[in-house]
């Protein structure tokens, strides 16, 4: 299967978000791919608020099944969440469980006025009623495949498709 150029999809996504630039929002990226995208978007749109990051490892509902990710990062939100308009950024939206975990963690920092979601790729397959307000591209992929955002040493983004590994 031919995957789209992640750089072109990102530019498309950035244009969609920029068209709503009248909104004063704070940007938070979800580790790992969402943070890469948020870093670039933060710089490109010259967002005044500092960039926030979330690692939802401890908030996932499948933590007991899949265990802890080997490279847990520290969540950092260097602004007041209470009353803020938050734009949450992730790379691939699939079941919705990562976003649910991110929202649970976000509310530990305070009650935002609103939370919007931006995602590079929406691949459908939702298990929870979660939708992105900003999507770079929608792709239909087989359930036995995983889609991963990669970032090269030069910072160039690419998409990679591989077989899902089911734990026994």
- Distance CA(33)–CA(30), nearest Å, equals 7
CATH of domain 6-163: 3.40.50.2020
Q: What is the pLDDT of residue 62?
A: 57
* Strand-pair partners of 150: 158
Band the pLDDT of 164: cuts 50, 70, 90. confident
Q: In the chain, what are the domain boundaries?
A: 6-163
Span 105-118, pLDDT tens digits: 999 999 999 999 99
> Of the ranges 63-72, 100-109, 130-139, which one carries the lowest mean pLDDT score?
63-72
- Total-model pTM: 0.90
Do 134 and 16 touch, CB atoms closer than 8 A? yes
């Amino acid at each position: 299967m031919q995957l789209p150029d992640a750089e072109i999809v990102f530019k498309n996504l950035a244009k969609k978000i920029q068209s709503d630039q009248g909104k004063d929002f704070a940007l938070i990226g979800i580790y790992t791919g969402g943070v890469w995208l948020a870093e670039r978007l933060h710089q490109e749109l010259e967002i005044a608020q500092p960039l926030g990051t979330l690692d939802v490892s401890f908030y996932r509902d499948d933590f007991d099944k899949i265990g802890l990710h080997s490279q847990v990062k520290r969540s950092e939100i260097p602004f007041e969440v209470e009353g803020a308009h938050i734009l949450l950024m992730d790379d691939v939206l699939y079941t919705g469980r990562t976003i649910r975990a991110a929202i649970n963690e976000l509310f530990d920092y305070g009650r935002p006025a609103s939370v919007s979601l931006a995602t590079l790729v929406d691949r459908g397959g939702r298990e929870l009623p979660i939708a992105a307000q900003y999507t770079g591209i929608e792709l239909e992929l087989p359930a036995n495949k995983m889609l991963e955002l990669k970032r090269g040493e030069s910072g160039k983004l690419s998409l990679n498709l591989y077989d899902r590994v089911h734990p026994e």
